[in-house]
Amino acid sequence: MLLLARNIPLELESLVKQILTLATDLRWTWSHDGDTFWQYLDTKTWTLTRNPYAVLQKLSVKRLTELHTDEDFSKHLNTLLGAREDYLTKDCWAEQHFTKSEQAQIAYFSMEFGLSEALPLYAGGLGILAGDYLKTASDLGVPAIGIGLLYDEGYFRQYLDSEGWQHEMYPHNDSRNLPLQPVITVDGAWLTIEITLPGRILYLQVWQAQVGRTTLYLLDSNDPLNNPVDQAITGRLYAGSEELRLIQEIVLGVGGWQVIEALKLDIKICHLNEGHAAFAALERARCFMNKNNLNFWQALWATRAGNIFTTHTPVAAAFDTFPADLLEHYGQHYADTLGINPEHLLNMGKMIADDNNERFNMAYLAARTCARINGVSELHGVVSKKIFSGLYPDWPLAEIPVSHVTNGVHMPSWDSALADKVWTDSCGKDRWLGAQECLDSKIEKLDDNEIWSLRGQQRTDLIHYVRRRLSDQKRRSPNSGQPIEQAQTILDPNILTLGFARRFTEYKRPNLLLSDQQRLINLLSNTQMPLQIIIAGKAHPKDNTGKHFIKEWFSFLQRPDVRPHIVFLEDYDIRLAQHMVQGVDLWLNTPRRPWEACGTSGMKVLVNGGLNISELDGWWAEAYTADVGWALGDGEQHHESDWDQIEAQQLYTLLEDQIIPAFYHRDVEGIPIEWIQMIRNSMSSLTPKFSSNRMLREYTEKLYLPALADYKMRNENGVELAHKLEQWQTQLAHYGDNILWGDLRVEQHTDSRSFVVSVYLGDVPVDYIEVQLFADAKNPTHSPFCQKMNCETAIPGSLNGFIYRIELQSNRQVEDYTPRVIAVHTSVQVPCENHFIKWWSGSRTIV
């Protein structure tokens, strides 16, 4: 935009617009084809920034004139433009598998998006996952948009002082060099969203980033119409007071849905990536309420079916919560616009209604305003059932309505150019654009020499990158570690290289490998089978424990016998992560089970032929087999104080006895046959399974399509069903507690038994409920049992009194079975949307 405002000669305008088309489409972040193109335009700027938009902004008219007459450049430009056009117009997976009526436009809300270092709007895994989601939606043609915030500074950049202590810097995100464009309305104005805060209006400018077929909309409070304090609302990601954090989440949710309304986007599915954006579900209902002349609760019933909440949090204490008085301050006016009492709004974010001591929990608000909830790995789904069980009192843990869709990573964003060629030669260029059923068999055919050559070159490329980056690091801080001349020769391209990079915090146990320093030194200094390690990671600015972990590593690598074998690279970011996952032989992950919701860093090495050694937590708990990598722990949760030491010893033993020998055991041609077979197994079986391609197809088939069907049903015939559902809910809430049970009679037959019970429903219509017989899972041989009991006859002289019966064959104890009444409706997700349940209590007679 700024470049076009410069004094560009008329004959160059067409060229500039063509280059701008490529620079502002973030598809370049996962296409290796353009790397040489951008380097040719401006080698220095591309090398330092890896940002095509910055390259374009810095091109002089003289350089543009040279390019205008460069035939080779024109051919390359036209090739890239043609490839982009083919990508955007070709039939995609969504179009091939679903009709237009089966495809729902999705709004994906996230506090952060990690698409590229050129757009630094992320802190870590949550943002990287969100960025990979948008890229995958583009690849598959899933009609999604992203909604987020444009941060003036984003997350911090890290540097270490001469003592190894982390310091934070917050460089400004200069919009002139970001691959963004303002959203322009039909009347030619910059789209501005207005939301009401106490005593003032907040003005939010709207930007957009193009991600292939997908658009990301970003809200920006840095508008001159705002007061200086409000201009800073979108200043930093995850920074500031509780009040500022709450306002940011109001901006994301309320402002984000207002963008959808302003652009008249036909969104059917609202997908909340964590609870930060839960206000979007409220704003969606408010807008629907006003359009259709409904009350809030009717509007919530109409829209909730189309809301999906993905939780990434493994412990309840990590949810965003706010003091009740802060919510009252900011929620009073909003509750008025919803037409509800402020107490009702507060209770939607509490586990226990009207508890004045409980903080307002954004995850609870999300759970109560979404019809479907999922965790991000199989184990995390189980953990999340426990976390949210309090919202569904008296329901068995197995029936807490949290499913799971295991995360995946966008493989084209994380593979090296060399790995990309291997995959293309084996599986074709469209391998990540649809179904992946045949990829494993094709990769299994790779020969040993090809795999080992790939790994050797990638390791070499990583070592060269580490040397360059470490040299730059030392030039900025010459007293913080190895001298510059040592940095230029550090590490060996032929040595087993272990990578460890993540947020440095206590539960991730980043210093587990330092538990026995002498044993680690022995591994590093072994002249026959040496090990070398590349480490990176940040601690949260307020996490002093995490900073001490970094300092401990820094102190360790100052030892002369350690320096040649370990490096700590500052300022872990997407670019460094890409180089590490492409080049390391082995990726280490050491969280304390079950605190890693999923963890995707280890997935990124799969496509590049790297192997994993990880705690049996998150994704690795479902991925691990002995022929694809190594596992720490025993698959159980431990509270013993010495368990960390037990697993540390296990880690050393695995390295000493299995991992390192497997890498260095070579045949006569110098090939590690056992190691390569594990690479082949890992690449073929795990890469497709843990790609975001699989993840998004699973979201579509498991969550989006059912949600779309429910949403459509509730919005037919003038939202007739939404009215009925509110009445159904109200009736159960008012009269459900008055349901009475009679005695339970168990009739023993030759090869079966019958359970017979009387139920008095009172003012609750019989079709509002279902009577079931339930038995919980008490041991591995008995899975949960639940079956509808048949309404046999009405009880004479009673109000809605009925006899219910069921006959079944079972060898379980009679006492295992208990009747219950639950809310039931064919169009409602029970218990997610209505958790009414009443268990039988009384005397049991066996006859």
C-alpha R_g of the chain? 29
Residue 467's identity, in one-letter code, is: R
Specify the 3-state DSSP secondary structure of 740.
strand
pLDDT at 1: 46
DSSP state of 189: P
Dihedral angle, C-alpha 496, 502, 508, 513, nearest 10 °? 30
DSSP state of 514: G
Specify the 3-state DSSP secondary structure of 214.
strand
Cross-strand pairs, 307: 270
pLDDT tens per residue across span 282-327 = 999 999 999 999 999 999 999 999 999 999 999 998 999 999 999 9
pLDDT at 586: 98
| Token output for 560 | 């002369």
Dihedral angle, C-alpha 653, 654, 659, 665, nearest 10 °? 50
Main-chain dihedrals φ then ψ at residue 220, nearest 5 degrees: -135, 120
Low-confidence ranges of the chain (pLDDT < 50): 1-2, 4-5, 480
- In 3D space, the residue among 30, 21, 11, 81 whose CA is nearest the CA of residue 56 turns out to be 21
pTM greater than the 0.85 cutoff:
yes
- In 3D space, the residue among 828, 820, 748 whose CA is nearest the CA of residue 784 turns out to be 820
**Residue 111 C-alpha from the chain's centroid:** 11
Residue 644 · residue 625 · CB < 8 Å: no
pLDDT tens per residue across span 379-432 = 999 999 999 999 999 999 999 999 999 999 999 999 999 999 999 998 888 888
Domains (range + CATH), the chain: 2-89 (no CATH), 98-407+704-714 (3.40.50.2000), 436-690 (3.40.50.2000), 720-846 (2.60.40)
| Token output for 194 | 């207005």
Residue 547 · residue 161 · CB < 8 Å: no
pLDDT at 437: 67
Q: How many other CB atoms are found less than 10 A from the CB of residue 164?
A: 20
| Token output for 457 | 């070159």
User: Which residue, chain included where needed, has tokens 């809301």?
Assistant: 307
Instruction: Please give the helix or strand (H or E) that residue 273 lies within, else none.
Output: strand 267-273
**Residue 291 C-alpha from the chain's centroid:** 33
DSSP string computed for 567-595: EEESS--HHHHHHHHHH-SEEEE---TT-
Residue 491 · residue 459 · CB < 8 Å: no
DSSP state of 702: I
